[in-house]
Structure 1
Amino acid sequence: MRRWGPPVLTLVGVIVAWQLVVVGFKVPEYLLPTPSGIVAAMAAEWRYLAFHTWVTLYEILWGFALAAVIGIPLAMLIVYSPAFERSVYPLLVASQSIPKIAIAPLLIFWAGIGIFPKVLVAFAISFFPIVIDAVVGLRAVEPEMLHLARSMGAPERKVFLKIRFPNALPNIFAGLKVAVTLAVVGAIVGEFIQADQGLGYALQQATAVLNTKLGFAAIFILAGVGIALFVAVEAVERWLTPWSPARRSELARGTL
């Protein structure tokens, strides 16, 4: 757990400096509230914030899950089917030149009202890194290992399950960790455009009436949700890939 020490100490230092600067320079709270004021707003409005947090978390998890469920099989098709790769992969890469935030209003317009449009935006923003990292991982197998397995008569299904997929897991999880944070961004973008619930909606409502403390409370909760989801994906990665080079390096350094 020593690896968490420096960032935690840095965060504490920033919060203390923030409190001292705002109090010392008498900054109006509608411009920049103190951390203690933000915590007080969280405590006072915890039911309101908890409801909107649950809505946003629901959108994030569904968008991320769809990105993973569709992205990983799509990467397998790209790796195993040259024809599919030639026809789809260039279009997939080219689609990333289109800013997702720019087309988010269209996605919401097409998908209608409710939670699904925000799930769709979260999916669209988090989908690409999963596909790319999964493709890289599935292709990163040493050719000698594949030749050896096939020369011993191993069927392609067993080659995939025993060699390709385990070898690709570190890359897949790298994509998942990026994607889960992007899903947070996607859900909030969707809520900014059209919503009547969720942390994005709560943030907009708070800033509209200059309730900066509540707005910062929503931002802090969003940051906490993003960090918690990243740590959760990382924990699953550590559990499933104890043999990975990064994991062995951490064990050797004693940073866990």
Structure 2
Amino acid sequence: MNKTLSLKGWRPLVVIILLFIIWECSTRFGRIPAWLLPAPSEIVAEAIDVWPNFQIHLLSTIKLTLIGFVIGCSFGLIIAISLHMIPIVRESIYPLIILSQNIPIIVLAPLLVVWFGFGLMPKIIVITLVCFFPIAVATMDGFRQTGQELKHYMQMAGASKWQIFTKLEWPHALPSIFSGLKISATYSVMGAVISEWLGAKSGVGVFMTLASSSFRTDRVFVAIFAIMVLSLSFFAFIIALEKWMIKWRPQGEK
């Protein structure tokens, strides 16, 4: 069984390698201009050449992503717990949370600059807006899916509402919480890049904007691949944290 799973794990890697080979051959033999679509080998060479300057932008994006992710997820958890514990608040606020997701972030971003300037605040707000919703909804779903039989049993045993929450509902919601964290982790990188378009001095978004304006397509792809690697690394970290914290889950449910 483990051998089969390990073989399946190699399939996406094989597909990615084949895609890069097709991409390389198409650009080489099709004589596609580098400014239109550079070959993967040219992108790698450019990444190595520009790395001393690019790592400053990458570190800036990582820092911004982590700050926004922590604030956004904390805000989402607080909202989810508050709405779950106070039904009146849930009935009043939950529809507004749904409506907030219908506002395009790319449209709201310029307004945040007008309201809060070009500092760190509008960038954190952008990342918070894209992070809090997945974790809030996933957490509330986890609370609602708690077994009613176990809840009734604890009530019959004299458990308080807070004891039911901490001993039953919160542990039961952890898998759902981590599902929301995985989504928020990938969204946070995207939110950080979008926020850097607002006027940051450094960051992958700034690097991408400068490369695009100067028609350096190879550098644009360097930034794109860096964003992908950063998102996957963040996602993998959340998965590792989930496996470490939720050891009681059956193997088949992971």
Measured against the shorter chain, the TM-score band is over 0.9
- Aligned alpha-carbon RMSD (Å): 1.5
Deviation at 1:30, TM superposition (A): 0.7
Q: Structure 1 residues 45-54 or 88-97, which shifts more?
A: 88-97
- Establish whether residue 248 from structure 1 lines up as the match of residue 241 from structure 2: no
Instruction: Indicate how the Cα distance of structure 1 residues 13 and 171 shifts in structure 2: closer, same or farther if over 3 A, else same.
Output: same
1:114-125 equivalent positions in 2, closer than 5 A: 114-125=119-130
1:161 maps to a residue whose letter is T
Aligned to 1:23: 28
- Establish whether residue 207 from structure 1 lines up as the match of residue 212 from structure 2: yes
- Establish whether residue 56 from structure 1 lines up as the match of residue 61 from structure 2: yes
Aligned to 2:13: 8
Percent sequence identity is: 32
CA contact (8 A) 2:84 2:143 kept: yes
| Partner Cα distance (2:247, 2:113) in 1 | 41
CA contact (8 A) 1:29 1:212 kept: yes
Aligned to 1:36: 41
Correspondence for 1:174 among 179, 192, 198: 179
Aligned to 1:160: 165
2:137 maps to a residue whose letter is I
Q: For 1:8-63, what per-residue CA distance to the aligned partner results, in whole angstroms no more than 9, with x for missing partners?
A: 11111111111111111111111111111111111111111111011111111111
Q: What TM-score comes out, normalization by structure 1 length? A: 0.92
Structure 2: runs of 5+ lacking an equivalent: none
- Establish whether residue 45 from structure 1 lines up as the match of residue 50 from structure 2: yes
1:85 maps to a residue whose letter is R
1:223-242 equivalent positions in 2, closer than 5 A: 223-242=228-247
CA contact (8 A) 1:118 1:190 kept: yes
- Establish whether residue 83 from structure 1 lines up as the match of residue 104 from structure 2: no
Deviation at 1:4, TM superposition (A): 2.9
| Partner Cα distance (2:114, 2:145) in 1 | 40
Q: What TM-score comes out, normalization by structure 2 length? A: 0.93
Deviation at 1:91, TM superposition (A): 1.1
| Partner Cα distance (1:221, 1:152) in 2 | 54
CA contact (8 A) 1:30 1:212 kept: yes
CA contact (8 A) 1:117 1:190 kept: yes
Aligned pair count reads 249
Structure 1 SS opposite 2:179: helix
Structure 1: runs of 5+ lacking an equivalent: 251-256
Deviation at 1:249, TM superposition (A): 4.3
CA contact (8 A) 2:118 2:198 kept: no
Deviation at 1:170, TM superposition (A): 0.9
Correspondence for 2:111 among 106, 112, 125: 106
Aligned to 2:153: 148
Q: For 1:185-241, what per-residue CA distance to the aligned partner results, in whole angstroms no more than 9, with x for missing partners?
A: 111111123222100110111111111111111111011001110111111111112
1:177 maps to a residue whose letter is K
CA contact (8 A) 1:56 1:199 kept: yes
